[in-house]
Amino acid sequence: MSVVSILGAQWGDEGKGKIVDILCEDIDCVARFQGGANAGHTILINGEETILHQLPSGVMRENIKCVLGNGMVIDPVALLDEIKMVESKGLKIRNRLSISSLANVVTPLHKALDTSNETSLGEMAIGTTKKGIGPCYADKISRNGFLFKDLNNLADIKKSLEEKTENSINRKYIKESDKKLLKDQYNEFYKACEILRDYTTDTISMLNEMIKQNSKILVEGAQGSLLDIDFGTYPFVTSSNTTAGNISTGLGIGPTKIDKVLGVVKAYLTRVGAGPFPTELNDNDGQKLQKTGFEIGATTGRQRRCGWFDAVLGKYSSQINGFTSIIITKLDVLDEFDEIKICTKYKNGKFPDINLKDAEPEYIILPGWKSSICNIRDFDKLPENAKKYLATLENLLDVRISHISVGKGREQIITR
Tell me if 13 contacts Mg ion by CB under 5 A. Answer: yes
Query: Which position among 41, 53, 110, 403 bears the catalytic label?
Result: 41
* Catalytic status, residue 13: yes
For ligand IMO, give the closer residue by CB, 273 or 286: 273
Judged by CB under 6 A, which of 41, 110, 131, 271 binds ligand GDP? 41
Q: Terminus-to-terminus CA distance in the chain, angstroms?
A: 18
| Closest by Cα among 416, 219, 218, 221 to 317 | 221
Report whether 111 contacts 131 (CB < 8 A): yes
Listed ranges 32-40, 163-171, 193-201, 323-331: which one lies at the site for ligand IMO (CB under 6 A): 32-40
Judged by CB under 5 A, which of 15, 35, 36, 40 binds Mg ion? 40
Q: Which of left, alpha, beta for 60 (phi over 0: left; psi -120 to 50: alpha)?
A: alpha
Report whether 225 contacts 231 (CB < 8 A): yes
Instruction: State the Cα–Cα distance between residues 408 and 332, nearest whole angstrom.
Output: 10
Compute the half-sphere exposure of residue 73: CA atoms within 13 Å on the CB side of its CA: 27
For ligand GDP, give the closer residue by CB, 202 or 335: 335
Instruction: State the Cα–Cα distance between residues 237 and 289, nearest whole angstrom.
Output: 23
Instruction: State the Cα–Cα distance between residues 369 and 145, nearest whole angstrom.
Output: 52
Element housing 260 (H / E): strand 260-266
Judged by CB under 6 A, which of 6, 10, 13, 109 binds ligand GDP? 13
Listed ranges 72-80, 149-157, 225-233, 400-408: which one lies at the site for ligand GDP (CB under 6 A): 400-408
Q: Which of ligand GDP, ligand IMO, Mg ion, none does residue 404 bind to, with CB < 5 to 8 Å depending on kind?
A: none
Tell me if 82 contacts ligand GDP by CB under 6 A. Answer: no
Report whether 138 contacts 168 (CB < 8 A): no
Which residues are at the interface with ligand GDP (CB under 6 A)? Answer: 8, 12-18, 40-42, 44, 294, 298, 329-330, 332-333, 405-408
Which residues are at the interface with ligand IMO (CB under 6 A)? Answer: 8, 11-13, 38-41, 126-129, 131, 133-134, 222-224, 227, 238-239, 272-273, 298
Which residues are at the interface with Mg ion (CB under 5 A)? Answer: 13, 40, 298
Catalytic residues: 13, 41
